[in-house]
Amino acid sequence: MNKLQLINQSIDYIIQHLNESLTLEKVAAHFHFSHYHFGRLFKEQTGETVYAFIKRLKLEQSAIDLKLEVDQRVTDIGLKYGYSSSNYSSVFKQNYATSPSTYKQFVTAPQASNPFIAAKLEKFSSYEYYQEKIEIELLPDQLVYYERFIGNYAELKQHWLCFLKEHRGKIHGKTLLQEKFYSDPVSADVDRCICDLCFSVDQMQDSTTTIKGGTYAIYAFEGNIEDIFNVLQGIFRIWLPQSNYRMRERFAINQYLYIDSNNEFVSMKLCIPIEKQS
């Protein structure tokens, strides 16, 4: 395992265990490294210490939960990520310049500013609209080659162009191009959003991983790239909280069926891993 693979796997481990007590020592031990050596490698590859990375992701995930878990009390969401009631409010205000309660009202509102297009106000459709469009499907496990991108989602187009150019010899007509994204650009540090650029492969090789199959809510989208934000936020703000489902993973998938990069037009499936509410 090379350095990059190690750090990518450690990031996956951290994301999967965010509601647990995570430390540098615990993560390093999981991968059988000394905490000193692992901590140095992690900062070298990501630009952040393990502590800062965990702290940031816990807070960002709590902000996502404020959007999705509308029936949960704010204090309970904070507790899930290791914060006391007063400490959660204080830390949240330092990062988002508002209280968790006020933020919750903002992220569940039927409209919002677009972080990628200045002065554009996005208005979301009704629950009934999304319910009519969304299909619930069972998807199989999928083996993919991936490269992890950590940065501003606004830069994804350029990274995709470079990614496709680099791997053009491995991509053919039946290859499925996908994005596996972990960050909500509304709540994340916009310059540190996490996304995997992927294409389907038939066998294991370096830098391959398996995207877990299971039950997914799937929205078929066809339109301009700039409108994807509106649809995804509508699904997460309006449909998911009112449905009988919740997310079962801390990622979602964009599957590209057709791309016209010159006109910034795509046909794709937006796939959210879900499970029935208990």
Give the separation between CA 33 and CA 177, rounded to whole angstroms: 34
237 pLDDT higher than 80: yes
Residue 133's CB is within 10 A of a number of other CB atoms, namely 17
User: Has residue 105 got a pLDDT over 90?
Assistant: yes
Q: What is the pTM of this model?
A: 0.93
pLDDT for 45-88, tens place per residue? 999 999 999 999 999 999 999 999 988 999 999 999 999 988 99
Superfamily of domain 3-108: Homeodomain-like (1.10.10.60)
**Residue 113: per-residue pLDDT:** 92
How far lies 238's CA from each of 27, 107, 125, 129, 169, in Å?
35, 10, 8, 10, 41
User: In terms of DSSP bridges, do strands 121-123 and 111-113 run parallel, antiparallel, or are they unpaired?
Assistant: antiparallel
pLDDT for the residue numbered 119: 86
Q: What percent of the chain has pLDDT over 70?
A: 100
CATH hierarchy code of domain 132-276: 3.20.80.10
CB count in 10 Å sphere of residue 28: 20
Q: Tokens in use for 226?
A: 């700039």
pLDDT of residue 85: 83
Q: Which of 107, 113, 117, 148 is nearest to 8 (CA)?
A: 148
Domain definitions of the chain by residue range: 3-108, 132-276
Confidence of residue 161 (pLDDT cuts 50, 70, 90): very high
Locate all alpha helices (DSSP H) within the chain, ordered by sequence.
Answer: 3-16, 24-30, 35-46, 50-68, 74-80, 85-96, 100-107, 127-133, 156-166, 228-234, 240-242
The pLDDT score that the predictor gives to residue 36 is 95
How far from each other are the two terminal CA atoms of the chain, in whole angstroms? 39
